[in-house]
Amino acid sequence: MWGTHLAWYHLLHPRPAYVIGSGEPPEGNFMTASWVTPVATDEPLVALALDRETYTYKLVKKYGHFTIAIVEDVNLLWKLGTKSGEEVNKLEMVEYFKGKKVPSPIPKNAIGWIEAEVKQMIPVAEVDMVIGKVVHWEAVKGFGRRGWDLKEVKIPLQKAGRSFVFPCEEVLAKG
Ligand SMILES: Cc1cc2nc3c(=O)[nH]c(=O)nc-3n(C[C@H](O)[C@H](O)[C@H](O)COP(=O)(O)O)c2cc1C
């Protein structure tokens, strides 16, 4: 469903694409995900629409935690989103460190990341909506009062298939 066929959900793109880290190295994995959203703030919750066919799904279910990393490298996003950890060891393709509150991996070149513990996994069609509680987050550079400084960092959004865009114009709404 994240392939090259144009579909209704492309109306909801461009949307940021992230690297999801799962498991506990040496049993760990990275995959790309763009169907990721904040859900609540009283209790800080985030959700992933995670295909049950993915290796990431198995590791998230087994270990009960994951990370969401922001990287600027679209080639890395494409690579991690088009190969499965069932076939290749993606931990060997990316330099990484483990999270501070959960031991899932985070790419070394991440400009920010979230660490989450699984609160709920809700099966819907071919995915599980994975609701995670944010237990730690960090930005490495270019993050301030108004969020990301787009002059300093590049936040890739997936448009469709292998086509990505970088937001570059910032506008302050009046009123
Ligand atoms: C830009 C992009 C966004 C993606 N978004 C998602 C997503 O939100 N949820 C999902 O389950 N798969 C998504 N995928 C597909 C997975 O990344 C892909 O199936 C991957 O091979 C799964 O890896 P794994 O089996 O190692 O976990 C996306 C792929 C790309 C390239």
Q: What does the pLDDT look like over 69-102, one tens digit per residue?
A: 999 999 999 999 999 999 999 999 999 999 999 9
Q: Is the link from the previous residue into 26 a cis peptide, with omega within 30 of 0?
A: yes
pLDDT in tens, 116-137: 999 999 999 999 999 999 999 9
Q: Which domains does the chain have, with CATH numbers?
A: 8-165 (2.30.110.10)
User: What confidence score (pLDDT) does residue 173 get?
Assistant: 96
- What's the whole-number mean pLDDT along residues 9-29? 97
pLDDT for 122: 98
Burial 1-27 (b: 16+ CB within 10 A, else e): ebeeeeeeeeeebbebbbbbbbbbeee
- pLDDT of 168: 86
Which ligand 1 atom minimizes the distance to the CA of 127?
11
Length of the chain: 175
Q: Is the CB of 83 under 6 A from ligand 1?
A: yes
Contact between 140 and 107 (Cβ < 8 Å): no
The chain-wide mean pLDDT, for the chain, equals 96
Q: Report how far ligand 1's centroid is from the alpha carbon of 146 (Å).
A: 29
Q: How many CA atoms lie within 13 A of 19 on its CB side?
A: 32
